[in-house]
């Protein structure tokens, strides 16, 4: 299945909902529990997520995780590299990145075209039954 503008919008909107305030964002971990321990993105005790963890949780919540994972990571990384010269993980975790910075980066993904001509886009994600 192809990553479409509708899917991008759904995932971005869900990511922004998850990050309702700065306490729900973390650096250095995919996800974190209230006690500060690192955890999995789908852990029901998780209270905060990095950019990639939030994307994983959003896609999981929307039932899209198995279909678009690699494509959405490629999409996010392409624009992180274009705009900041680093991967999404590095953008999230670097000292100078604020919560407002990462939210704005994610919010603006809704307006970005995909695929981009000349950028390899793998069509190998599993297909829904």
For the segment 29-75, what is each residue's pLDDT rounded down to a tens digit? 999 999 999 999 999 999 999 999 999 999 999 999 777 888 899 99
Q: Is the pLDDT of residue 120 over 90?
A: no
pTM given for the model: 0.88
Q: Nearest 10 degrees: CA dihedral of 50, 103, 63, 44?
A: 40
Instruction: Supply the angle between the helices 5-18 and 65-84 in degrees, to the nearest 10.
Output: 80
- Going from N- to C-terminal start, the domains of the chain cover 5-109
7, 68 contact by CB (below 8 A): yes
Rg for the chain (alpha carbons), in Å? 14
Beta strands in the chain (DSSP E): 31-33, 38-39, 46-49
pLDDT band at 129 (very low <50, low <70, confident <90, very high): very low
């Amino acid at each position: 299945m192809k990553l479409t503008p509708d899917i991008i919008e759904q995932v971005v909107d869900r990511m922004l909902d998850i990050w309702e305030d700065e306490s729900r964002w973390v650096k250095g971990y995919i996800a974190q529990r209230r006690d500060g321990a690192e955890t999995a993105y789908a852990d029901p005790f998780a209270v905060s997520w990095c950019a990639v963890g939030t994307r994983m949780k959003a896609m999981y919540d929307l039932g899209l995780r198995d279909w678009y994972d690699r494509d959405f990571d490629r999409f996010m990384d392409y624009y992180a590299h274009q705009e900041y010269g680093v991967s999404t993980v590095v953008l999230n975790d670097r000292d100078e990145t604020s919560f407002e910075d990462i939210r704005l980066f994610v919010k603006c993904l809704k307006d970005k075209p995909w695929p981009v001509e000349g950028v390899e886009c793998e069509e190998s994600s599993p297909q829904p039954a």
